[in-house]
Amino acid sequence: MMRRRADLALAGITGYFVGTFPSADLASTLASRGREATDLRNTGSGNPGAVNAMAVLGRRWGYGVMAADIGKGALAAGVGRRLAGTNGAHLGATACVVGHCFPLWSGFRGGKGVAASVGQCLATFPAYFPIDLAVAAVTASSPRWKRRAFASTAFASVTWVGASVVWWQRGWPNAWGPPATIALPVGAAVSSSVILYKFATAAPPVPTSTQKLPPALPDHEVPT
């Protein structure tokens, strides 16, 4: 029992520190080409995430940040599963989202966790992932949803958690992911709560003249 708890704790701690990897800050440093790096926390939307990186640094850098953040969520789930099985996968991935949103190294000023949660879903709930992408596509294509980032994120989160409950209760297969246990909806609910908190408390956009592209896409357009 003590070994099991230790393994779960290690999965959670590892997941958190994977989540703190500063992908947006690294992209900003690389994009500066020797000049002073742009602090995404004080530019554009003020969010050190993929969408703001697209707006400030350019789409190539933004997509790189998105890929890195998705990879963080998937990696944390994989390491957690290796360390502590099914529960470790969910704990590691959820902790990664928390680490991304509240990184110790940046004064707990992180991103909104959307892309990291995509990696979490891909690794822990692959059976639902195509539905997740469909929900994101619908909200991204509707002008009504695009103007309501918090509402569209809440809708995607409720869908994710609801599907997790259904898969767990019915015992449906989960492709390459871990078996659907109660840890599936719990992990989805915790990550969704953290993401919604970040959206609800986000500061207004920071006026700047350094943006290369206008912030045309709100954060919710990245699938959650």
* Domain spans in the chain, listed from the N-terminal domain onward: 2-221
pLDDT value, residue 136: 85
pLDDT value, residue 144: 66
Exposure letters 12-39 (e unless 16+ CB within 10 A, then b) = bebbbbbbbbbbbbebbeebeeeeebbe
Encode pLDDT of 163-209 as tens digits: 999 999 999 999 999 999 999 999 999 999 999 999 999 877 665 54
pLDDT value, residue 148: 74
pLDDT value, residue 146: 53
